Every structure is written in C-alpha cells, then in structure tokens.
Structure 1
C-alpha cells in the first residue's frame, strides 16, 4: 500500500568530499550522518527482529495499547513491542538528511502471519526523528515514515514484485535489511543490495 506523501526521486549520487562537510560529519552526534557515495531510491526493511522485537507470532495479540505518558506499545497480555536501538537514528537519516530526504523512499516487507497486528504496531509505535546536528527532534509513527507496505505471509519475492510495481524503482536501486539470511539471499538474486 503506497503512502500519499510525495518525494521527488533523485538519481544515484556520488558525494564530493569538501573539508567543511567532513568536519560537519565528524562533529555530528549521529554516526550514520556522513556523505554517502550511492543513494538508494528505495530502502526496504523487514519488521520482525529487524526493526522491532518481539516477533508478531510471539505476542498474545490485540488489542494493542499505547501508554499515553510513556509511548510504550503493549499487546493484550502487557508484552511490549519495541524498536531496536538504532532504528530512530537510521530513520532520522533517511527522513531528514538532505542526501536522502528527497531522493529515497522507505518500505517495509514482512512475511508475518499477523499482518493486522503489524500494521497496528506501525501506527502506534513512535519513531523519534532528530536532525543530524541533534536539533529539532520530533516523534511520529513508523507508519508515517513508510511509503510502501508489503505485509502478508508470502515469499519476499512477492513483496518485492509489489514494491517494484508500486514504487517504479528498479531492484538495483533498492537496499534491503532483514535478519534472515535466506530472505537476503533470495532477494539479492533479483539484483537488490
């Protein structure tokens, strides 16, 4: 499902290395903030045990609740769904860094057997987006930073065919993150990095 936010797709970029930009990156509090030699047009993340834990099948299910004071998201038994520590930083770079902001879109591809739970968690979980210089932090839902969703229990190749069709991005211009080697192997055969 495509999100309504529109980004202007850029082309792959080779960064120049001026001394002022190097010093900016070195002093930067976000270690991911640097000049990138190639900018992917679509970055695709698996959900379970890549962006968050526990995996959906390990939970007791809906209803999911978000604590208004802490932002913690829990299932009906009180088990918390939480992001891995680097998720905020990675998504901040993709959303706010000038190299990626208008050139890169974000997608999720998940084979979960509980797609409704995953979509609910995406809506409830907050990502803290912080500019690379550490200023202007704001919270927004994971769902709001994702441009495309392929969440259903099928082979990742089906997910990527859908993402390619919806986004118009060729496989060679996609970057994929997953915790399962078999998924990475299958998708890299398509030309995805």
Structure 2
C-alpha cells in the first residue's frame, strides 16, 4: 500500500540519532540496567527502577514507511533504503538492548501489517552506537555500505552535529523529538539538494 507521502525520490540511507530524537531521554544518564519488557507490551521498555523508555509517537510509522517505500516499486523512490542508528552514547550495550526489547507494532496508519509486531532493532540495517564524532560514524557507514554522502539524510536533536554536512550528508534538526512533519522537512531538504 503506498500513500502520497511515499511518492518522490528517497535517499539511499536515512540515519537517526537515538537520544531525544527517537526517544525522550539520554540512555547513558537516565536509564539504569537491566532493561526488561513486560510480556509483549508494545513500545515500552522498563529499566531497573521502572522508568519507561518509548519511541516518540510518530517513530514507528516513519520506520514502517521507510521499509515499505524501500521494498516497493515506486518508480522515483531511488531503490532500497538503508536505515541506520547513529548515537554518540557512552552506553552502547544498553542502547542496543533497548532497541532489541522495544517492540514496534504493525503500522495502523497505512494498514501495513507485514511481519506483525517485531523488535525495533530489526528495522535498522546499520548501527553506529558508540562515543565519538558523527563524522566518524558517517565515514564508517560510507565505508561499509558504499553509499555516497550525498545519498544520506541524518536526523538529530543537537545542532552541533550539523558538522556532517561538510561530508555532504543532509542534516535535519529535530528540536523536540521526531515527528512526521520533521521527517517530511528532512526529505524535502534532501530532495532540494539533489
């Protein structure tokens, strides 16, 4: 099922920061392991003190959309889309564990029930989750994937990471968590540069 939003060219790689971009906390300072999920609860992981970790409300739809568009036959979409998580955290093991436990439901907005409920980590093709510069993260992505920087779009909550633009990556600032509107703005900025 495609929607009007699916039309148009997409970058070959879309990357997301985690903290304050996909969820509303810093995994290395606000969360204490071990992490757990209660049964099959969707979009909620609990830490040792029952603090909740959840994606912002539009994130699962955006992840489903990227998978749907990347797997569809939309003529102008640009081919398969690589989804990456790029986080400069000092708790990479905790971040990966959270992505493994956090369940994403089928996308009710598009009627996309392919695969049913599944762990968030299954949506990500690449993980650059460790302390260090975003320049380092994107150089590693380019080396592994062969995707040119001009075909990369990066969503992040901190303006200082605009530094990736010196490589040719399109940067989209996410001031208050990723929303459908901000995602559209990022796509539009990337398309305008093509």
SS in 2 for 1:175: strand
> Residue in 2 aligned with 1:84?
56
Check whether the contact 1:95–1:101 (CA below 8 A) recurs between aligned residues. no
1:62 alignment partner in structure 2: 33
Deviation larger for 116-125 or 93-102: 93-102
- Is the contact between residue 82 and residue 125 of structure 2 (CA under 8 Å) also seen in structure 1? yes
> How big is the shift at 1:63?
0.6
Secondary structure, in 3 states, of the residue corresponding to 1:40? coil
Displacement after TM superposition at 1:92 (Å): 0.9
- For these two proteins, the number of residue pairs brought into alignment is 163
- Residues 1:103 and 2:85 are matched in the alignment: no
Structure 2, gaps ≥5 residues long = 171-194
**After alignment, is 116-125 or 46-55 more displaced?**
46-55
> In structure 1, what is the equivalent of residue 157 of structure 2?
179
1:48/1:55 contact within 8 Å kept: yes
Work out the CA distance in 2 between the residues paired with 1:55 and 1:179: 12
Q: Identify which range, 93-102 or 43-52, moves more after superposition.
A: 93-102
SS in 2 for 1:90: helix
Provide TM-score, normalisation by structure 2.
Answer: 0.77
CA gap 1:70/1:187 in 2 versus in 1, 3 angstroms: same
Matches of residues 151-170 of structure 1 in structure 2 within 5 Å? 151-170=129-148
Distance 1:62 1:101 in 2: 40
Q: Normalised by the size of structure 1, how large is the TM-score?
A: 0.77
After the TM superposition, list the runs of 4 or more consecutive aligned residues in structure 1 that deviate by more than 3 angstroms.
99-102
Unaligned runs of 5+ in 1: 1-20, 27-32
Distance 1:101 1:79, change over 3 A: farther
Which residue number corresponds to residue 120 of structure 1? 97
Rg bigger for which structure?
A: 1
